[in-house]
């Protein structure tokens, strides 16, 4: 370690000093222009048509690159993820840009390089993992943490410092296009899996970015960016808890604002959310970064500022530290605001300190000692990151050695992608026990539907083949993605598989429906694969800007399903989608139904494996499957009057398949639920033990779910709400006991005075395989005074597996 008193070493380069000391020493040297530059960003874009961010084509960077880098830079935007570049090309571009950033400012301060990583490193040739909705269907935080660790390792090896994930928006309306990017409709599940993803990413040295804070998914009529009109209780009890969990238990170091307004106040202009709640109440010390163009949107979309310059002032006062993806409202505009007294320089200083702290944590300001002569003026080149120490080792290397030869679709990645895909697939129903199919079958099987042969239907909208490569058709998908149809050929080599698309995901060409139905009529079984093709801003049926008017299958796919069902041939319906579609019209007419939430590059193999029984399905629904396409069930978290109400309304929002539902090829019995006490203090905890038994003849994994009901409270409460879950491996004939340490804080809610409380009274605890099927019950009584909870509240139910 270098001595604090090393001659010629600038104190902010001295790793023997505390981070705080290093930050303050550099702050003392920076001019106002140099400080503000640390809060900006640069996106070197291509001339290809099409947007990967909302209204991207409306914004043109002012000035050339050298002008934009003149005083320094906070972030470099998507150097790898904007166009199809190989790892070598991306590494070369990043090195070149970082060298230009450092050369352009007096102190050689590099930029933080950020990339998207929602379904893996969003760059050419990198593994496209299942979508977050599929992660949620695994109910497996440990697996998601391992996957995120692999994603983070790839990012770090490429010289990337920050990942713009995970999405912690809680689903409120299934019509919203970005449902596929979420972790489902339950705040506890979202928080647990979100925190797991954060731990994996942060453990690999990548700054995780929680988005979209907050309320984005609750937009009116499920329209992207539309206003949000929820009340403070829904915000506090449903929307905010996942963010708090991912900050406290995941350790995320960055938060991204939501585009929407909440009750008229855009989040990017809300000091109440970004300063009072996030920093003062929760104690967050990391950076708040703007969603792409969110700062100028304050003027152009929300009308809370006159122009881009005014938007910069509004955003800074509200608490946005860094403007992404390009400096529009900050930069010279923010400097002018400070000089004119319209923005307090102390606010700028706070934001700059946070950015510099993160750069130091990332090693971007570490270096070897400079020569004494260099200390007299601007830092010499050897006093900048990338220099060598006395042993010849690079310190603070911006792009690690080996980045040029990275394998971003490694066997490790593929194994993880396959495991996540396999554990995410949900067997919805199997009334005739037609599944699993015999791998040695010689039957005539019709393979029908647009999702059977198109590998892009396996991927989410932030997977690089769908996110960027649709603008570069000459590059194909950029990596091998076997389709479901191809994997079926390998899975059932003796079967007579005959293929027909029938109808595309979109469009009105129904000419293929009759031939597909005729093929089904001549077959012993029809496998029908329908669903989504994800894209951006209307370029798909699921994804950002691809909101749906209702929950019918897109295009003519409902006609295709009906035509095949009409043949009388047994039908296995497989829905490959980014949102839950209404299946009430089919559930009692199919031989079996399977749900796959855009399962990624190994999804074809996972689906085929579930159909053959090579994979015993263990996925569970993180969202309900609606019954009616027109009656929005509005998630399972409903008080009594939000559910079926005979005699009050004729509209029945009951789902076709409940939250948490999922079958396997084994029969699992719930045999016992016991608690360690009948009474529990309002500041205590109760241990709940649930025993399950595999009564089938196959090994399986059961997701044991514990729900709570609060029948009498100050406000209307959900009939049931998830408070704990555990994935349990069960051998045939074996029983396992699962212990859940449920804190009384899990029963808390926002009371009439908007304080979070735990109050005395009866709580019903139930356990089972879904929110609607929880056969085991126990009632406990909370005793003592009403407790008002603060920052120290317990957010997680700990679990232990015991022998039965």
With a cut of 50, list the residues of the chain below it in pLDDT: 1-4, 368-396
Q: CA Rg, the chain, in Å?
A: 27
pLDDT in tens, 776-801: 999 999 999 999 999 889 999 999 99
Kind and range of the H or E run holding 695: none
Distance CA 3, CA 113 (A): 29
- 500 SS3 class: strand
Rounded CA-CA distance 557/582 in Å is 12
Return the closest-CA partner of residue 252 out of 324, 181, 199, 213: 199
How far CA 165 is from CA of 17, 199, 271, 449, in Å, comes to 31, 12, 23, 32
Q: Measured at the alpha carbon of residue 753, what is the angle toward residues 747 and 758, in degrees to the nearest 5? A: 20
- Taking the C-alpha atoms of residue 321 and residue 450, their distance in angstroms, rounded to an integer, is 45
Tokens 């938060």 appear where?
A: 255
Q: CA torsion sign, 267 to 268 to 271 to 274?
A: positive
Task: Work out whether strand 75-77 and strand 41-42 pair parallel, antiparallel, or are unpaired.
Answer: parallel
- Reading the block at residue 395, the tokens are 């310190």
Whole-angstrom Cα distance, residue 555 to residue 560?
10
Angle in degrees, CA 565, 568, 572, rounded to 5: 55
pLDDT of residue 60: 63
Whole-model pTM? 0.94
- What pLDDT, on the 0 to 100 scale, is given for residue 58? 64
Q: In this structure, are residues 290 and 245 in contact, taking their beta carbons and an 8 Å threshold?
A: no
Contacts of 478 (CB under 8 A, 6+ apart): 84, 124, 125, 464, 465, 469
Q: pLDDT digits over 730-786, tens only?
A: 999 999 999 999 999 999 999 999 999 999 999 999 999 999 999 999 999 999 999
Query: Cα 767–769–771 angle (5° rounding)?
Result: 75
For residues 508 and 559, is the Cβ–Cβ distance under 8 A? no
* Six-digit token string for 593: 């139904």
Question: How many angstroms separate the CA atoms of 155 and 148, rounded?
Answer: 10
pLDDT at residue number 178:
96
pLDDT for res 56: 57
Contacts of 27 (CB under 8 A, 6+ apart): 35, 349, 352, 353, 356
**Two tokens, residue 155:** 């990012």
Q: Would you call 551 helix, strand, or coil by DSSP?
A: coil
Give the count of beta carbons closer than 10 Å to the beta carbon of residue 803. Answer: 7
Residue 312 to residue 302: CA distance in whole angstroms: 13
**pLDDT tens for each residue of 15-37:** 999 999 999 999 999 999 999 99
């Amino acid at each position: 370690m270098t001595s604090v008193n090393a001659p010629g070493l600038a104190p902010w380069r001295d790793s023997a000093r505390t981070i705080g000391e290093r930050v303050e020493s550099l702050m003392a040297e920076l001019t106002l222009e140099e400080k503000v530059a640390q809060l900006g960003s640069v996106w070197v874009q291509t001339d290809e048509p099409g947007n990967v961010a909302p209204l991207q084509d409306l914004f043109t960077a002012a000035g050339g690159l050298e002008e934009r880098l003149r005083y320094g830079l906070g972030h470099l935007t998507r150097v790898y993820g904007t166009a199809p570049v190989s790892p070598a090309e991306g590494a070369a571009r990043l090195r070149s840009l970082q060298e230009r950033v450092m050369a352009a400012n007096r102190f050689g301060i590099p930029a933080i390089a950020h990339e998207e990583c929602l379904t893996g490193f969003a760059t050419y040739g990198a593994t496209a993992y299942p979508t977050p909705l599929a992660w949620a269907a695994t109910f497996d935080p440990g697996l998601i943490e391992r996957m995120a660790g692999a994603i983070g390792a790839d990012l770090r090896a490429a010289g990337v410092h920050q990942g713009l994930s995970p999405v912690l928006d809680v689903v409120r309306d299934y019509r919203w296009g970005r449902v596929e990017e979420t972790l489902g409709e339950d705040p506890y599940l979202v928080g647990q899996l979100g925190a797991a993803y954060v731990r994996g990413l942060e453990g690999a040295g990548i700054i995780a970015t929680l988005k979209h804070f907050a309320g984005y998914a609750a937009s009116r009529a499920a329209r992207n960016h539309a206003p949000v009109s929820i009340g403070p209780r829904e915000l506090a009890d449903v929307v905010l808890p996942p963010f708090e969990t991912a900050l406290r238990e995941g350790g995320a170091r960055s938060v991204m604002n939501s585009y929407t307004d909440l009750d008229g106040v855009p989040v990017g202009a809300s000091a109440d959310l970004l300063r009072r709640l996030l920093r003062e109440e929760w104690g967050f010390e990391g950076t708040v970064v703007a969603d792409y163009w969110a700062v100028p949107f304050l003027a152009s979309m929300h009308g809370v500022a006159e122009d881009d310059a005014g938007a910069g002032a509004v955003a800074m006062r509200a608490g946005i530290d860094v403007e992404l993806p390009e400096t529009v409202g900050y930069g010279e505009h923010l400097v002018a605001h400070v000089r004119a007294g319209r923005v307090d320089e102390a606010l700028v200083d706070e934001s700059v300190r946070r950015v510099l702290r993160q750069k130091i944590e990332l090693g971007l300001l570490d270096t070897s000692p400079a020569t004494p002569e260099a200390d007299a003026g601007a830092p010499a080149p050897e006093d900048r990151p990338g220099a060598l120490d006395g042993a010849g080792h690079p310190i603070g290397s911006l792009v690690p050695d080996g980045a040029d030869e990275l394998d971003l679709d490694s066997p490790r990645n593929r194994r993880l992608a396959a495991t996540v895909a396999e554990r995410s697939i949900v067997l919805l129903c199997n009334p005739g026990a037609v599944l699993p199919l015999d791998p040695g079958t010689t039957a005539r099987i019709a393979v029908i539907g647009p999702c059977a042969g198109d590998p892009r239907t396996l991927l989410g909208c932030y997977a690089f083949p769908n996110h960027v490569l649709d603008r570069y058709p000459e590059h194909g998908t950029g990596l091998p993605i076997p389709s479901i149809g191809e994997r079926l050929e390998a899975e059932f080599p003796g079967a007579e598989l005959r293929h027909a698309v029938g109808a595309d995901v979109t469009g009105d060409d129904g000419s293929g429906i009759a031939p597909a139905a005729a093929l089904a009529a001549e077959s012993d079984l029809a496998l029908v694969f329908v669903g989504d093709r994800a894209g951006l801003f209307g370029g798909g049926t699921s994804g950002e800007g691809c909101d749906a008017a209702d929950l019918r299958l897109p295009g003519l796919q409902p006609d295709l399903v009906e035509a095949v069902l009409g043949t009388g041939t047994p039908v296995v319906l497989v829905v490959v989608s980014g949102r839950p579609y209404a299946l009430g019209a089919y559930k009692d007419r199919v031989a079996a139904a399977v749900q796959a939430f855009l399962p990624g590059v190994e999804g074809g193999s996972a689906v085929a494996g579930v159909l053959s029984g090579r994979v015993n399905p263990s996925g569970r629904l993180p969202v309900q499957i609606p019954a009616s396409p027109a009656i929005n069930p509005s998630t399972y978290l409903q008080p009594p009057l939000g559910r079926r109400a005979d005699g009050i309304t004729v509209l029945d929002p009951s789902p076709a398949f409940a939250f948490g539902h999922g079958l396997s090829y084994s029969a699992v019995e719930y045999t016992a639920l016991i608690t360690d006490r009948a009474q529990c203090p309002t500041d205590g905890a109760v241990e709940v033990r649930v025993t399950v038994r595999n009564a089938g003849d196959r090994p399986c994994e059961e997701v044991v779910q514990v729900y709570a009901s609060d029948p009498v409270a100050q406000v209307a409460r959900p009939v049931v709400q998830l408070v704990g879950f555990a994935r349990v491996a069960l051998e045939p004939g074996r029983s396992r006991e699962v212990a859940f340490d449920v804190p009384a804080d899990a029963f808390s809610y926002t009371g009439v005075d908007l304080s979070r409380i735990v109050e005395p009274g009866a709580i019903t605890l139930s356990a089972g395989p879904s929110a609607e099927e929880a056969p085991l019950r126990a009632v406990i009584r909370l005793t003592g005074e009403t407790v008002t909870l603060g920052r120290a509240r317990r957010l997680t139910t700990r679990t232990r597996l015991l022998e039965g």
